[in-house]
Amino acid sequence: MMNIEFKNMFDETIYEHQAARLDSYYKIYSLNGKIKQKERFQNGQLQLMTYYKEANEVHHEIMDEFFSSGMYISIVGRESIIGGYVLEKGFDYDENGALYVKRNELFDVNGNIIAFDYTKDLITNIPEFEKTRKYFYNPAVNPDYHLFSCSYDENTNGKLLEIFYNNYHLNDDGRDAIYFADIPEDQETLKQLTGISSQVAAYYVSPTVVPVF
């Protein structure tokens, strides 16, 4: 049975009558504990729908059923990957029903986002590397925040730009963060700090979202 929930823009659960008084709110449909459909309303009008498709559902049928002129719709497919990861492949359609963006988002077993990319060039399908990000988590060290994040250079086809290591859980020397460059010495220091393997380190150096480890 489909469960329906309303949330405000702070992700707080509210009642339907409370949502009706807000300028913006979400209406969320869930099935068996997983979100199936998420709708964002603005001034009483459906502005954006995110639809989580099953493997046997196809885009044009989803668009035929749900799309109406003036709204945006995002169709997302979920794929389980070895290691407990979940890859979400998103396809964003504009107010005229035209595909304009493709997205990949990778989540770990705890629901943390590990990596994402964003592609507007639908001919080459090359992501906009300046918007690609990756995150590494270790709840045993820092349960509230990622240990480091990676950004990539648009002008060098996704070469690692920098690694931002959060130092909030240590802060021994008074610094809030440590920056690492794409050089062997920095990567070796990062491996010593985090305990990651060379294979995992290689994943974070690369802008590719889908892991091979």
139 vs 125: which has the higher pLDDT: 125
Based on C-alpha coordinates, what's the Rg of the chain? 20
pLDDT at 208 over 70: yes
- What does the alpha-carbon distance between residue 6 and residue 16 come to, in Å, rounded to a whole number? 6
pLDDT at 68 over 50: yes
pLDDT at 1 over 70: yes
Q: What is the pTM of this model?
A: 0.86
Beta-bridge mates of residue 180: 163
State mean pLDDT over 100-116.
Answer: 95
Half-sphere exposure of 189 (CA within 13 A, CB side): 13
State mean pLDDT over 138-164.
Answer: 88
Split at pLDDT 50, 70, 90, the class of 91 is very high
175 vs 10: which has the higher pLDDT: 10
Q: Are the beta carbons of 23 and 49 closer than 8 angstroms?
A: no
Angstrom CA distances, 25 to 4, 51, 120, stand at 13, 16, 27
Each residue of 74-100: b (16+ CB within 10 Å) or e? bbbbeeeeeeebebbbbbbbeeeeeee
